[in-house]
Chains A and B, each alone.
Chain A
Amino acid sequence: MHDKTLAELSAALHGKTISSVELTQHYLDRIKKYDNDINAFITVTEEHALKQAADADKAIASGKAGPLTGIPIAEKDIFCTQGIKTSCGSKMLDNFIAPYNATVSENFNQNGLVLLGKTNMDEFAMGSSNETSYYGPVKNPWDLARIPGGSSGGSAAAVAARLAPATTGTDTGGSIRQPAALTGITGLKPTYGRVSRYGMIAFASSLDQGGPMTQTAEDAAMLLQYMAGHDPKDSTSIDKEVPDYSATLNDNIQGLKIGLPEEYFQGGLDADVEKTVQAAIKTFESLGATMVSIKLPHTDLATSAYYVIAPAECSSNLARYDGIRFGHRCENPKDLEDLYKRSRSEGFGEEVKRRILIGTYALSSGYYDAYYIKAQRVRRLIRDDFKAAFQNVDVILTPVTPTPAFKLGEKTTDPISMYLSDIFTIATNLAGLPGISIPAGFSSSQLPIGVQLIGDLFAESKILNVAHQYQKVTDWHRQSPTQFNGGE
C-alpha cells in the first residue's frame, strides 16, 4: 500500500477498498517503525491526523470528496499549522505553536487532506544537507550514513522511505529539487509567485517558493493543484489562472526542443551524474525530443549573487526572533541588550548566524552598492539569459546536483563546498522559473541521481508533462530503499 502513488491511493479511497483512517494509521505505523532511523519528522500529529481521516471518510461516504480527500501527507515544518508546533527546524521556535494556518495548509484542510506531521529541515531552511536542524540531521533512506539533501530533507526522506505518500517543501536555492534528487523522488519548485508564501516562514522572501514533493510527476501535478493560486494575503503571489496540471500530462512531446546549457556540463561533474544525465537525454530523444545546445553565460555568477541576496533578506527576515513576543528567550536577562544577544545567540544555530552576519554586512552602509545592488544586477542578467534561451527551446535539462548524496559530516566544516552543492539549482530561483527534479538513475554505489527540467515562467504544466512522459518509460521513480520496504 505504501508504495502507491497519490493517484493510486485516491482511486483506492474512492473505490472504498481502503478508508482514510486505515491508510492514515498505516503511515503512522510506518513512521513509528522507521523514523527513529531516518529522523524525517519533527512532529507527528497522530491524533489530529486520525480525526481528519475520520472526517475525510465521512466526506467520501457522502460523496462530497475531492480527488485528494483522505490522503495523508506531511508538511515541511516551515508551514504554519494552527495549534501545531511549527519550529522551522530551530531551537528559536521549539516552543512555537502557530496561531494560524499557512494558506497552503489551509487549502489542504479545506480539501480534506490529512496531516501526518511536520517534517525535519535545515534550520530556517538554511542548508543543503539537513545537518543544520536543531532536531538532528535527517538520514538518507538509501544509505543512513549519508545526507538526504536540504533544506527539505525531512520531506524528501519521508517520501523516499514511503513514510508519507507526498509532502511539501520549500525551495529558495534548490531546497526541494536537491533533496528530491538525492533521495530518488520527484520535487517541483513552481514559478515564484505561483504558490502563496503566506504562513510559510520566510528565509529569503524574493526567492522562497513552496512546492510538492512526491513519487511521481503525476502526483506532483495533483498536489500542486491545491497549492497554486493567487492569495490576496501574499502581495507577491500572482493573479493568474491556475491550469489543470493533470490535464496536459499526456501531451505528446514529439518535436519538443530541450535546451542543454553548456555551462552546466563543463568539468567537475561526477562521472555517475554525467552518465545518468546522458542516459536521460537519450531517453528523451527516443521520445521524439531534440536537444539544442544553449548558452546561459552568467551561470558562474549565480552562486555569488545568491549568497548576497539570500543572506541579506534573511538578516532582515530573522530580526523578528528577538525573544520579546514568541520563541526562545534567554533566562534572567540583565537588560534589553542582554535579552537580545543571548536569546538570539542561544536560539540560532551556526549556519543561521553565519548568514545573518553575511547579510547584515552586505546591507551595511558603504557596502550596499558593492554587494546588494551588484547582486541584483547579476540577477537581472541571469533572468535575461533564461529569457533569451526560452526563445529557442521549450524546456532546459540539467543535472540537479554535482554529485550523489555525500556523507553526514563531510561538508559541515566547509561552508563554501556545501554552498556549491546547489550550483545547478540556484539560478532557477534567481530567475523565478519553475524547475522539477525527477529520479533518473543510480550511482555505482546505489545512490539516486536526478535530472532537472527547467521551464519558462508559469510553464509548470509543460515540465510536468515532460517529466511524466519520461516516467512513463522509466521506473526510477518507483524504486524505494528495500530497508524500509518490509511488511506489506
Chain B
Amino acid sequence: MEWETVIGLEVHTQLATQSKIFSGASTHFGAEPNTQACTIDLGMPGVLPVLNAEAVKLAVKFGLSINAEVPSRSVFARKNYFYPDLPKGYQISQFELPIVSTGHLDIMLEDGSKKRIGVTRAHLEEDAGKSLHEELKGASCVDLNRAGTPLLEIVSEPDMRSIEEAIAYLKTLHQLVRYIGISDANMQEGSFRCDVNISLRPKGEEKLGTRAEIKNMNSFRFIERALAFEIDRQAEILENGGTVHQETRQYDADKDITRPMRSKEEAHDYRYFPDPDLLPVEVTKDFIENVRKSLPELPWEKRERFKKEYQLSDYDANFLATQIQTADYFEAAIKSAGGASPKIVANWVAGEVSAGLNKVEKDFTDCPVSADALGQLLARVADSTISNNIAKQVFEAMWKGEGSADEIIEKKGLKQITDTGAIESMVDEVIAANPQQLEQYRAGKDKLFGYFVGQVMKATKGKANPEQVNALLKKKLGN
C-alpha cells in the first residue's frame, strides 16, 4: 500500500532576553553550574514569579511575523510533574489561552513550489534545569542555571507530508526567529529544539493515523534521520497489519534509531490549572502596534524585494536574504559600489566574500573586508580602473589587511592600462613573436584567439584593459 506521511512539529526556541522569564537572574549560557539561579529559580518557599515584559514582547513579535492572531488576553498555567531539575514541581507554561494563536508560515520547496504550513499556537513557558548523570559516580547532579529561561513553544498543524517539508519548515522557522531577533536559535546550545509528531495513513485516507512523538532533537540532520527511521518503522508495522502505538520516542544518534522512552516518563497527568501567582497577560492594541513597528523586513519580503529592486535571480535573492547579516552586508556594499551593478555585488558577496568567510568560519558581521570596502573595490572595476581579475588580487590583499582598494591598487601599481597606443604595441609584439600560432589561427583554428589574449595579458601583468585587448587583436588578426 502507498502510505502518506503526516508530520507536525513542536519547536522550543529560547527567547533572547537578558534575564529569566520570572526572575532577575541572567540567562547567559555556559556559566558555572548553579551560579545563575536565584531564590526564585530554586523554587524556595515563599518566592513568587514576576513576568519579564521583554519575553512578552518577543513572543508577540513572533506572532506578528507569522500573521498570527495575538489575543488581548493570555493566561499562564501550571504544568505539574516531579523531576529533580524542575524546582517547583511544576512548570509555568500556557495551556488554554496562549500568547499567540493561529498563524502560518510559507515554506519553499526544492522544486521552487511554495507551501503554507499552519501554526496552531505559540506559548510562553519557562525552561527546566539540567540533570547531569555523568559527573559523579552513583549520584546525579542538578544544574539550575537554565531553569526559568524563557522559551517560546511553537506548535504547527500536522500539515507536512514529507521529510523535505518538515526540514524546510524548521529551517524557515529557524531563519525567522533569528531574523526578527527573538532568539539566537543556537542549536548546539539547545536554544532551538524540536519534538516531532509523525504518523502514516493510506494515501487518500482523511483520518489521521496513530502518531508517535519523537522528543527533543536539536540538529536538522538528526531530525531528518529520525524521521526516515520512523517512517520505515511505522510503514513496516502497518504493512504487516499491526498497529502503531501512541507513544513518546527518542532518537539515538549513535545507533540511528528511535526507541520508546520509558513509559513512566510519559505517563503524566499534568493537572494544568491557571497559575494563581500570575495575573492574565493583557496585550493592548497599542502594544501590538509598537511591536509591529519594531519588526524588521522579513526574509521572504526581503527576497522578493531583492528580486524586484536589484533584478537578482531566485538563487541570488535567496542566498542573500537567508541571513539578515548577509542581506545587510550586500545592501551596504551596493551603497559604495559606484557604477557596479547589484548583480556584480551579489556575485562577489555570494562568491569571494562568502567563500573566504567559510574558510575562516566567520560570518558577515565580522568580515575582514567591510561591506563599504568591498563596494569601493567593485566601483574601481566598474570605472575600469582595474579589471575583474585584478580585483580578485586586490580583494585578497584587502582580506589580509593591507589597506583599502585604492591604496592597494596604487601601492602595487595595478591600475589598468587603457592607453590604446601602449596596448597596440604590445599586441603587435605578441603577434610578431608567435608566427606559428598566427598561421594556425588564420587557417581556422579560432580557439587560438584566447591564446593571444592571454599572451598580451601576461605581457602586461594582467593590467591591460581586456576589452581593448580583444578589440585590437580582432582588428590585427583580421577577422
Contacts and interface: CB of A to CB of B under 8 A. Distances in A.
Nearest to B271: A363
Contact of A319 (B47, B82, B140, B269): B82
B84 interface: yes
A319 B48 contact: no
Nearest to A200: B46
B42 A365 contact: no
B46 A102 contact: yes
Interface string B205-230: 00000000000000000000000000
Given A236-B276, A340-B82, A363-B273, A93 B48 contact: no
B43 interface: yes
Contacts of A200: 46
Given A236-B277, A320-B88, A360 B46 contact: no
Interface in B165-191: none
Contact of B276 (A313, A319, A363): A313
Chain A residues touching B, majority SS = loop
B46 A324 contact: no
Interface stretch (A68-76, A201-209, A383-391, A475-483): A201-209
Contacts of B142: 324-325
A322 B80 CA distance: 13
A205 B89 contact: no
Contact of B46 (A202, A206, A236, A312): A202
Interface stretch (A227-235, A277-285, A441-449, A461-469): A227-235
A197 B47 CA distance: 8
B44 A326 contact: yes
Contacts of A336: 84, 140
Contact of B278 (A79, A235, A325): A235
Contacts of B39: 99-100
A226 B351 CA distance: 69
B388 to A, nearest CB: 62
Interface in B335-360: none
A199 interface: yes
B89 A316 contact: yes
A88 B46 CA distance: 10
B89 A319 contact: yes
Given A316-B80, A360-B271, A365-B269, A233 B276 contact: no
Contacts of A86: 45-46
Contact of A320 (B43, B269, B278, B279): B43
Interface string B255-285: 0000000000000010111001111000000
Contact of A197 (B48, B90, B272): B48
A16 B9 CA distance: 73
A322 B43 CA distance: 11
B273 A372 contact: yes
Contacts of B87: 320, 324-325
A378 B19 CA distance: 39
Task: Give the size range of A's interface with the partner.
Answer: 35 or more
B306 to A, nearest CB: 45
Interface in A298-344: 312-313, 315-316, 318-322, 324-326, 336, 340
B367 interface: no
Contacts of B291: none
A316 B78 contact: yes
B50 interface: yes
A199 B46 CA distance: 4
B269 A235 contact: no
A99 B38 CA distance: 10
A235 B45 contact: no
A206 B276 contact: yes
B80 A363 contact: yes
A313 B90 CA distance: 12
A323 to B, nearest CB: 10
A138 interface: no
Interface in B78-128: 78, 80, 82, 84, 87-90
Interface string B18-54: 0000000000000000000001001111111111000
A234 B48 CA distance: 6
Contacts of B46: 79-80, 86, 98, 102, 198-202
Interface residues of B, number: 29
Nearest to A313: B276
A392 interface: no
A199 B50 CA distance: 13
A4 to B, nearest CB: 32
Contacts of A325: 42-43, 87, 142
A96 interface: yes
B136 to A, nearest CB: 15
A442 B235 CA distance: 81
A204 B275 CA distance: 11
B82 to A, nearest CB: 6
Interface string A18-45: 0000000000000000000000000000
A165 B204 CA distance: 80
Contacts of A368: 271-273
A364 interface: yes
B45 A312 contact: no
B89 A88 contact: no
Residue of B47, B87, B90, B140 most packed against chain A (CB within 10 A): B47
A236 B277 CA distance: 6
Contact of A233 (B42, B48, B140): B48
B33 to A, nearest CB: 13
Contacts of B276: 204-206, 236, 313
Given A80-B46, A99-B39, A199-B47, A235 B279 contact: yes
B44 A319 contact: no
Interface in B352-392: none
A233 B84 contact: no
A303 B39 CA distance: 34
Contacts of A234: 48, 50
A319 B277 contact: no
Contacts of A233: 48, 50
A232 B44 contact: no
A79 B46 CA distance: 8
Contacts of A202: 45-46, 277
Given A205-B276, A236-B276, A372-B273, A320 B45 contact: yes
A93 B271 contact: no
A201 B45 contact: yes
Name the residue among A316, A336, A340 with the largest chain B CB count within 10 angstroms: A316
Contact of B271 (A197, A198, A316): A316
A319 B88 contact: yes
A450 B269 CA distance: 44
B269 A364 contact: yes
A96 B273 CA distance: 29
A236 to B, nearest CB: 7
Given A236-B277, A236-B279, A316-B271, A324 B45 contact: no
A98 B45 contact: yes
Contacts of A316: 78, 80, 89-90, 271, 273
Contacts of A324: 84, 87, 142
B275 to A, nearest CB: 8
Given A316-B78, A363-B273, A365-B271, A198 B45 contact: no
Given A100-B39, A235-B51, A319-B82, A88 B273 contact: no
Closest 5 CB pairs of A and B: A319-B89, A363-B271, A206-B276, A205-B276, A199-B46
Given A234-B50, A236-B48, 9 more contacts: A86-B46, A100-B44, A198-B47, A199-B47, A200-B46, A205-B276, A312-B273, A319-B82, A319-B88
Interface of B: 39, 42-51, 78, 80, 82, 84, 87-90, 140, 142, 269, 271-273, 276-279
27 contacts: A80-B45, A80-B46, A96-B45, A102-B46, A198-B48, A199-B46, A202-B277, A205-B277, A206-B276, A234-B48, A235-B277, A236-B277, A315-B80, A315-B271, A316-B78, A316-B273, A319-B88, A320-B45, A320-B87, A320-B89, A322-B82, A322-B89, A325-B142, A326-B44, A336-B140, A360-B271, A368-B271
